[in-house]
Homo-oligomer: A and B are copies of this chain.
Amino acid sequence: MKKLINNPENVVREELEGIAAAHSDRLRVSLDPYYVMRSDAPVNGKVAIVSGGGSGHEPMHGGFVGPGMLDAACPGEVFTSPTPDQILAATKAVSGGSGVLHIVKNYTGDILNFEMAADLAKEEGIEVEAVVTNDDVAVQDSLYTAGRRGVGVTVLAEKICGAAAEAGRNLSQVAELCRRVNSEGRTMGMALTSCTVPAAGKPTFELGDDEMEIGIGIHGEPGRQRRKVAPADEIVDLMATAITDDLPFRSGDRVLAFVNGMGGTPLIELYIVYRALARFLGGRGISIQRNLIGSYITSLEMAGCSITLLRLDDEMLGYWDAPVNTPGLRWGA
């Protein structure tokens, strides 16, 4: 295992100390328990949004904290759910009196711990709604998951709902929008290489020199098939077919196309993937209105990519374009 780390046991703590050192102008970091929050939180009268999950998916979620996106993020250890006390502490810290939305990726541990934290927060008089993302079309149930896994659409939901909360929407409106973004979004991922959890010290899974895994999860969970490496255009065809057939996306649909790197994928390759995706969608009459290309929901140093398509309506489009000011996504602010 070669990584730019110190003691494998301290990876998340030291990452958080790095985030604190880098972004103290706009973020506050709690180390006991772990969470990252906007330094201006709680924002009175605004719906607060809290997300979280295992670490190793950076910039998700800590990098998405800031005006126009999340109020707080709770990072667990690498590929490990955050604990209820983290989530409760973050929820209380950012609650501005208008309710808190929990955006939760569909993994069994995450769901349980967010639910427990929500119950405890409600006992303290904080209104909480939770929305579970489950956009991964690759497999039905999987390791760690009953039902589909929550992946790339989570980034888009956090941005869009963050803008809606900033614009003064109330809790039920923001939660409804979040459910709509999830229901209109679909994702599929693939990997060229495995990744190594620092504390484990060896690759999560093995992949031959000429193999790839189609439909991989963000923790290296198995996908639909392991096959010989193929040209990018063929890989995109496979993934985009699975995604568009699932919703289904139809001619005339307007979409946001999100090409995501898994952590070890250079940008030059993501643009080659985007080229193929744009051609694929163009051929089906599906119109890309917005795009996002880069590494936003990762699996440590895994090489590979995921594609997320979100069918846009005018409300989502407006909130997507609204200003955002986080370490991971920033524009118009």
By a beta-carbon cutoff of 8 Å, the part of chain A in contact with chain B is 2-7, 11, 14-15, 17-19, 21-22, 55-56, 58-59, 63, 192-193, 209-210, 212, 229, 231-233, 235, 263-275, 278-279, 291, 293, 295, 298, 300-301, 303-305, 325, 327, 330-333
**Identical copies in the complex:** 2
Which chain B residue shows the least CB distance to A328?
Answer: B267
Q: Are A14 and B275 in contact (CB under 8 A)?
A: yes
Residues B5 and A232 in contact, CB atoms below 8 Å apart = yes
The answer to whether residues A22 and B268 also contact, given A303-B301, A330-B331 and a CB cut-off of 8 A, is: no
CB distance A263 to B263 under 8 Å? no
Contact yes or no, A233 B271, CB < 8 A: no
Is B275 within 8 A of A21, CB to CB? Answer: yes
Contacts of A295 in B (CB 8 A): 266-267, 295
Most B CB contacts (10 A, CB to CB) among A15, A212, A330, A331 go to: A15
A-B contact pairs, 30 of them (CB 8 A): A2-B212, A2-B229, A3-B232, A3-B269, A4-B270, A4-B273, A5-B231, A5-B269, A5-B272, A6-B231, A6-B272, A14-B271, A18-B274, A21-B274, A21-B275, A56-B268, A58-B268, A58-B271, A59-B267, A264-B264, A264-B301, A266-B300, A268-B300, A293-B327, A295-B295, A325-B331, A330-B330, A330-B331, A331-B333, A332-B332
* B residues less than 8 Å from A274 (CB atoms): 18, 21-22
What is the bound-complex CA distance between A59 and B268, given in angstroms? 8
